[in-house]
Structure 1
């Protein structure tokens, strides 16, 4: 089932000289460049009443009318999967995602995902890109995620992410004893040989991770991490890059390290922790409708808390 919605905008002076398709990508970040190009070519976009090609260079000040034909999410099946919802109104949803739950359907995970669950919980999300999900957490990372229930809210959340004003704070347990916090400012891109992995690469996208010490152990460090950017696997890649990989990380953690002199209980706890020790603890945004700053916290899941308890006993 399709629906048509009309969007209007004015080309700001900052986009003067840009191509039409590039400018629309800035003005309507809800939609992909390829989708916008198809609408331009089909005549669904008018600039001062005229149909123009995607490569047309803009002067600034032009009036844009976009007639967007939106396909409702029909390929994703609504599934009754339990959700931990911390906040919900007519505009947004804040979800506390458990470790093990995949966010989007993909090869190998066609159903049983957060997106399937959201579509069952709120069928209206069928008309929102990716059922309103504007960012993601890795399957085995726990914690807070936001989703939009309207296109207006979706655009607002995307713009906040792009402007780097979304407050995201994580707890991460890393291998090794860090003495102080710091910042990793290194670009991230696809790994050269393994397309399922990411790596620090000169030609990658900008990525900035701030970290500070929350708690020290003899051979591990609990960090509070704040993100300026949200690249795939960013925290995991950056911490491995500075030689303090996350405990339990199956991709970037390297060979399992058992500290010298560790007790049997500590060895068992480290060996049995089979996922990256990463939890999205805090999320803060400007509410798209009210303009009010709102913030949520998620408690550590039991497996992560238990691992820390064992390390504290040994310390």
Structure 2
């Protein structure tokens, strides 16, 4: 048998594993060096609040923990670090990289609106709020958060302007900064006033109902008292008393009916007399106008035996105690033919 120069397969595998491990380490170290050099160019910044409590952190510490976890936020989307999820479903954190238009400042503590349904808040992920704004969640180091609640900042002039095209799909600072009041909001005075008005109306209705019930109770008590008095009388007296009351009631109704009939007859008579007077007056005025047009200088006004007044021409002698008047005078003074009684 000839000699074989091949090595043991097991040893060959171990050598290959060593070579591969050494190569992987070299590649990883090269990547870390490049990333560290690139991040050092950005420098460091100091994040401080008015009440203090945060310490200096380098950009490298804020962005990555391990070389394999380093990621960058998409263009136009702010990065939040040291963030926490509030009970309301919003994210509270520090701005790591502000937008170029100055809407956010590095180290500023803000709170977003509620995160949209189905969004999972994890490190190195982009989340979207209910209003459509997007944020990139960086390192989650809750030990470095300040103990005091963040204060709502006043909107800068840049927030009142329309967002630049670069921020399409990013956050809207004016919409996303939600104040966190330390005291409850003031009560709604209009609601209270309406409730007080309803209470007053309800009290008035209850008082009116109680008064009405009291009157009804008093009336019923009086009726019961009268009934008890009547029942206490002998039977014959009760019968006589009942007959007398019936007669009084019948007489009262009859008197009422007669009075209504008399009033109706008087009204009809007065209406008829008024109609007759108006008709006679119109007739006299028509005759006066006709005679005036014919050139008659005077006319005879008489009163009949029934008391009705009329105007007759001079040739008619059937008038009772006639009186001559001029047609123009009668036209100026119609009361001459409306006087009561015979005319002299």
What TM-score, normalized to structure 2? 0.18
- The structure number with the bigger radius of gyration is 2
Question: Which structure ranks higher in relative contact order (CA pairs < 8 Å, sequence separation ≥ 6)?
Answer: 1
What TM-score, normalized to structure 1? 0.19
